[in-house]
Copies of this chain bind each other. A is one copy, B any other.
Amino acid sequence: MEEGMSGFYIKAAGVRGNHGGGNGGGGGTKCGRWNPTAEQVKVLTDLFRSGLRTPSTDQIQKISTQLSFYGKIESKNVFYWFQNHKARERQKRRKVSVDDQTKEAIRSEEKISSAKHFIPHHVVESERVMETLQLFPLKSFDELAEPEKLRLHATECRDFAHGFGVTMDHPTLDLRLSFL
C-alpha cells in the first residue's frame, strides 16, 4: 500500500465553555467537535473519489490549509475524515459479503478452516508461556522482543485473573510503582 504517514494529535483544551468557533464560515457552532461545511465535505469527497485514501501528513496539512478557507478546521479533522470514510466504506462492504457466507458457515464446519497459521513463536500471555516456547526454541524467551512474546491472537474470554478468592487486601489504588 502507499506509504502514507498519518497521525493525529489531540489537543486537550481541558476546560470547556469555550465556544465561538465559527463553523461554516461564521456560524456559532459549539466547539465540541468539528462540523464540516458542505464545501469542505465536497472537497474531501472529491479527493477521496480521486483515489486519495490515506493522505500523508504533508497532504493532510495542505488539504487542511485549503479547507480552512471555508471554515474552522484542523489537521486532525482531515485525518479522521479519511480514516472514517475509508473504514466505513469497507465496513459497509463487509456487511454485504456476509450474505452468502453466513448460510454456508453456519451449516458447515468450513468456518473453522480459516487458514490458521501455525506460527512457531506462538506465545501465550504469561504463566504457561514458558512451556509452549520451550517446544519451539527459536530464541530464548528472554531474547524475544515484546511483541513476539506477548502476541496472542484469539484471546479467550476467561475471567481468570482475579476470580479466585485471593484474600489480598485491596490495593487501594495506592500501590503505584511500588511493585516495580
Contact = CB atoms under 8 A, between A and B. Distances in A.
A61 B129 CA distance: 12
Nearest to A5: B16
A119 interface: no
B175 A64 contact: no
Contacts of A179: 62-63, 65-66
A66 B105 CA distance: 10
Chain copies in the assembled complex: 2
Given A12-B152, A125-B76, A149-B57, A159 B22 contact: yes
Contacts of A34: 155
Interface residues of A, number: 100
B12 A74 contact: no
A165 B94 CA distance: 47
A151 interface: yes
Given A26-B162, A75-B125, A7 B91 contact: yes
Central interface residue in A91, A138, A151, A168, by most chain B CB within 10 Å: A91
A103 B67 CA distance: 11
Contact of A126 (B10, B125, B168): B10
A150 B61 CA distance: 10
A37 to B, nearest CB: 11
Given A13-B156, A63-B180, A126-B12, A150 B29 contact: no
Contact of A72 (B69, B73, B159): B159
A47 B156 CA distance: 26
6 contacts: A9-B99, A13-B158, A26-B163, A57-B94, A68-B162, A75-B95
Q: Which 4 A-B pairs have the closest CB atoms?
A: A31-B157, A9-B95, A7-B91, A10-B154
